[in-house]
Amino acid sequence: MYGQEPIKRLLKSRLGQTEIDQLKRVYRKGQKTWLSVRHGQDLRRIGEAFGAGKHPWFHTIYERHFESLRLRPLKILEIGIGGYDTPAAGGGSLRMWETYFPRADVVGVDIYDKTPHDGGRVRTFRGSQADEAFMRGVVEKMGGVDIVIDDGSHMNEHVIASFKILFPLLDDAGIYVIEDTQSAYWEAFGGSSTDLQRTDTSMGFVKDLLDGLNHEELREPRRAPGPFDKSIVSIHCYHNIVFIEKGRNV
């Protein structure tokens, strides 16, 4: 019986690249349909099937926040596609979201070319998550955004820059997710394990946003409402992941 590698070599020797790409699209469509029937709403199993690379406990937390939204026609933007500079590598998380949200359009952003993952309801764009003009252009092409998931470089300055660019563009009832916030404590990513009062790390920035939730009750006359105080209604912090919900907070 043939294994996968001999079959791949046989196909490459007999077919052109265009035909191979067509076969890949058919395979992916069939895989998504099978996973939807086999696993239904089980995000963990869908993620494992696609090799999404999320921490094991993330799936349960995501389901807690996303289950009620699953069947809505959402626009989802994920920063970071994976696979580094190999175009066809990575992409498992994009396919996971496309399968879990059967009516959503899913867009991925990466600093490397990831166009081999384009297809179905998935599109990719190449650029930096800290480039304001680029990120605004992506959201414009999407026609708006309902959910942002930052699984990008995890560099603290990039995480904060992306939030400042994208949160104002998020739908009024949207959700902004920051993954792998452990980098807030790692010096190699611009973080610190000793100075926990810094506001230039992802978690330090989030702590400041938490105070902003109660901006109307602050008695410090010199503190005017921050740029996000009136548009964040809840912040949920978990081990290495944060969910920020947008809404009217006045």
Q: Which residues are catalytic?
A: 154
Which residue, chain included where needed, has tokens 């980098």?
Answer: 183
Q: What 3-state DSSP class applies to 205?
A: helix
Helix or strand holding residue 123 (H, E):
strand 122-126
Contact 124, 114 (CB under 8 A): yes
Closest CA to 175 of 186, 166, 183: 166
Residues whose CB is less than 8 angstroms from the CB of residue 182 and which lie 6 or more positions away in sequence, other chains included: 240
Q: What 3-state DSSP class applies to 16?
A: coil
Q: Which residues are bridge partners to 119 per DSSP?
A: 122
Residues whose CB is less than 8 angstroms from the CB of residue 151 and which lie 6 or more positions away in sequence, other chains included: 78, 79, 80, 93, 179, 180
